[in-house]
Every structure is written in C-alpha cells, then in structure tokens.
Amino acid sequence: MSVALFGAVYPTSEVSSGIGFPESVRDGNWNLDSSWSISRGRNLIYNGRFRKDRKYSWNLSCPNAGSRYSWFGESNSGSGRKLSVVSSMVASPAGEMMLTSEQKVYDVVLKQAALVKRQLRSNDNLEVKPDIVLPGSRSLLSEAYDRCGEVCAEYAKTFYLGTMLMTPERRRAIWAIYVWCRRTDELVDGPNASHITPDALDRWEARLEDVFRGRPFDMLDAALSDTVSKFPVDIQPFIDMIEGMRMDLWKSRYKNFDELYLYCYYVAGTVGLMSVPVMGIAPESQATTESVYNAALALGIANQLTNILRDVGEDARRGRIYLPQDELVQAGLSDDDIFAGKVTDKWRNFMKKQITRARKFFDDAEKGVTQLSSASRWPVWASLLLYRQILDEIEVNDYNNFTRRAYVSKPKKILSLPIAYAKSLVPPSRTSSPFVKA
C-alpha cells in the first residue's frame, strides 16, 4: 500500500530532508536524535535507531457486538437464494464458539468511545490543553508540526488542502497522525521493506509507547507526542496498525472475510479511530459516540477494501491475494485464476459481490460524517466520495483490475470537492433515527 489520500499529486522533485535534528539536539524530555527525510520517490527514509519493548494483546471481551459489517453472502448457484448475515459468533473446527473479528474490533470501538465521551461533547467541543512553552521549545514544536504539514502536502495534496478548513489545532494534530501512519506504512511498503523484520516492528512499537509517554524520538514523533497530550487519542489503534504491518510480513492469504476484516481494521479502520478524537463530534449531534466511531471504522474498512479491489493485479504480482479464499472457491475461482489475470464471467460475478460489500461499508460511514464537527466534515466527505468512485471505475473497466488500475479522473475529482462541501454543510439531524440516542 502506498498512501495518496484524496488523489495526491505525486511530486517529481525532491523535498530536501532537513526533517531530522542533529544528534546533540535535546529539548526538555524530547530526544531528537534520529533523522527522517522525504527523498525522491516519495519515501520517508528512517535513519534512526530502534529499541525493543513489550507487546500488547487483544482484549476479547465483547459479548454484544452487532453484525452490521458482516458479509451478506449469496450462493453462487444463481438460484437467487436470500442474503444471509454471518453470525457474529462462529464455531471453531473443534466446535467451540469463538469471537469474530467484528466483535473484537467492536470492543476496541467501545473502549475508544468511552475514553472520549466527555471531552468530545463539552461545550468548547475540545478542551485543547495550552502549549507548555519552555524556552526555545515553541519554535521547535511549531517546526515539527510544519514539517508534518509539509509531508502531508507532499503525499496527499488535496487532503492537505481539506485540513486547511479545520481549526489550526486540529489541522496540526491530523497532520501529525497522518505522518505517523505514513511512516508506519512505509516500514512494510517502502523501499526498505525487504529489510523490515518483526523485531523492527517491535522496536517501532516501543518507540510509539515512548511517544505516548511524552518521550519522542525525533521531531515528527514530537508533534505526535504533543497531539496525544492535547487530544483524547488512545494508543490502541496505533498499536493495532503496527499489528497489521506485522501481519503483512507473514500473511499473504485470507481464509475468509473475517480474517480480511481484521486486516482491514488493523491497517485502515484504525485511522478512523485515531482521527475522530481530533476531528470532534458536532456539539449538536444526537448520535451516540459509539455510532460515530463505528462509522469512522467503516470508512477505514471501505477505503481498504476499495484499495484491495483496485490493486488485485498489482498485489498478485507480489504473490499476495487479499481476497477471501472461501468466497473465491464459492465463485469457482482459484489463486491460479488470479495469477492468470483473465477477466471471466466468474470473475465479474465475484467482483460484483466484493464491490457491493465495499459500498455497504461506505453507506455505513456516510451516516457518521454528518455527525462530525462542522469544520471536519468537508475533508472526510471529500475523501469518502473520491475513494468510493474508484469502485465505479472498476466497473467502468469491466472488472479488469488485473492489468488496469482504476482511477478517478481529475475533472471528476474536482467536481467531487464542491459536492463534498455541499454535503458538509448539512448539520446533524435532530430527528430520531437508529443512529441517534434514544
């Protein structure tokens, strides 16, 4: 995966490094002795050190997770059998009942929502803590955030423009989160990916813990450290994203949608959970915090599923198939068919179902965007509309995602922006709906 939210404009020129600090630079408890740079080819290069630390594990206590994100499967017999929702409890081959990925993830959603409930709904919307200004530190922090902004502008120009509508505090915070996600993704998807080991990811996680303890390693980390001290952002989604990168190191097949869902949560649903505490929920929104988090999660999943469907050919050339194996078999397809890359009717039918599922996640996400604070809605709508259109383009390409990359043309992208803006003006509804608190 490489990130270009909002159809980034890919630069051809080098952005000079200058991101790092010299070995000797220390400020307060910031330990700014590594360097990252953006180099030609859009890659963030890490030149620092790693340190090992402990790991986190799942909390599997979610008895009441709903099944709204489950796969609506249909038999491939063409007999028109009714759609059926997969239950959220599944039986293992040994007959024990196990939690589905959806339940595990819902547990995280509940935890995140509980953490932020009060802060997000205060009258000031967000009680942003003031900066603690140590001599010299103010400009370093501003510089750190500015650098994050530059990275965003470099990699995801339209997204960067979208953030300009947010309040300065929120904008900076989203940049800092974006940069951390970007760097994390680069570990397994960048030019040095072949050298990345699970140990390296453990050290990246240890470094993340330091960020949350207020002990950043470099200036980009310092921006994130400041962000997480000011907004009710929890470490769990960040840890989970690293888990997704670990998964990418060893796993190249997904038995069923449950496995794929977990992967999508790790690498993209987490982004939604990280972003909501910063974007804020509209004070006038009647929606439950959980429902807004669920919508954010849905947008991440929808984006990732779309990404997967767009990149089937590209991934197959790397030996990877991010498609549910059981559904492939049901459709009469095998890995060899994917590697052969021939668009057949079986493939078209399979793709139609995958696209329907991705659209359902987008639909779920849409319900939540309106609940966000007004200034945050436009960039989210824009990202949603732009990404969603990739699915339409796959259809326009007659489902040839083996050799044709579906993309949204510039005129369509430009047209989406005012549409997103118009949608962002719609305030949260005060009428009762399943989305709204009883």
Ligand X SMILES: CC(C)=CCC/C(C)=C/CC/C(C)=C/CC/C(C)=C/[C@@H]1[C@@H](COP(=O)(O)OP(=O)(O)O)[C@]1(C)CC/C=C(\C)CC/C=C(\C)CCC=C(C)C
Specify whether the CB–CB gap between 89 and 96 falls below 8 A. Answer: no
- The least distance separating ligand X from the CB of residue 9, rounded to whole angstroms, comes to 11
Of these, 242, 299, 375, 408, which contacts ligand X (CB under 6 A)? 299
Beta-bridge partners for 372: 281
Structure token digits, residue 30:
């910031």
The number of beta carbons lying within 10 Å of the beta carbon of residue 212 is 17
Q: How far is the CB of 23 from ligand X (least distance, A)?
A: 28
280 belongs to the binding site for ligand X (CB under 6 A): no
Give the residue with the Cβ less far from ligand X, 9 or 90.
Answer: 9
Cα–Cα distance for residue pair 186/205, rounded to 1 Å: 14
Q: Do the strands 89-91 and 30-31 form a parallel or antiparallel pair, or are they unpaired?
A: unpaired
Site for ligand X in 142-171 (CB under 6 A): 159
Angle CA 340–343–344, to nearest 5: 105
Q: Is 292 in the site for ligand X (CB under 6 A)?
A: yes
Please, which residue, 73 or 275, has the CB nearer to ligand X?
A: 275
Nearer to ligand X, 331 or 369 (CB): 369
304 lies in the binding site for ligand X (CB under 6 A) = yes
322 burial level (CB within 10 Å; 0-12, 13-18, 19+): buried
Site string for ligand X, 259-278 (x = CB under 6 A): --------xx--xx--xx--
Which residue, 217 or 435, has its beta carbon nearer to ligand X? 435
Residue nearest to ligand X (CB): 4
Closer of 265 and 399 to ligand X (Cβ): 265
CB 297 within 8 A of CB 382: no
Q: Contacting ligand X (CB under 6 A), which of 32, 99, 228, 296?
A: 296
Is residue 153 within 8 A of residue 164, CB to CB? The reply is no
Interface residue with ligand X among 3, 15, 25, 161 (CB under 6 A) is: 3
Which is closer to ligand X, CB of 104 or CB of 171? Answer: 171
- Under rule CB under 6 A, residue 301 binds ligand X: no
Count of residues touching ligand X (by CB under 6 A): 33
Q: Is the Cβ of residue 21 or residue 322 nearer to ligand X in the bound state? A: 322
Cα 379 from Cα 163, distance rounded (Å)? 6
Q: What end-to-end distance do the CA atoms of the chain give, in Å? A: 40
Q: Which of residues 183-242 bind ligand X (CB under 6 A)?
A: 185
Q: CB-side exposure of 245: number of CA atoms within 13 Å?
A: 31
Helices (H) and strands (E) in the chain, counts: 16, 10
Q: Is 354 in the site for ligand X (CB under 6 A)?
A: no
- The token pair at 436 is 């709204």
Closest Cα to residue 371, out of 432, 304, 284? 284
Which string of x and - marks every residue 362-401 that binds ligand X (by CB under 6 A)? ---x--xx--x------xx--x------------------
- Distances 389 to 6, 243, 404 between C-alpha atoms, Å: 11, 29, 15
Q: Does 86 bind ligand X (CB under 6 A)?
A: no
**Smaller CB separation from ligand X, 303 or 354:** 303
Q: Should residue 19 be labelled a site residue for ligand X when binding is judged by CB under 6 A?
A: no
Radius of gyration of the chain (CA): 21
Q: Which residues contact 227 (CB under 8 A, 6 or more apart)?
A: 172, 173, 176, 177, 233, 278
For the CB of residue 290, give the shortest distance to ligand X in the complex, in Å. Answer: 11
State which of residues 5, 188, 260, 420 lies at the interface with ligand X (CB under 6 A): 5
| Residue numbers at the binding site for ligand X (CB under 6 A) | 1-5, 159, 174, 177-178, 181-182, 185, 267-268, 271-272, 275-276, 292, 295-296, 299-300, 303-304, 307, 365, 368-369, 372, 379-380, 383
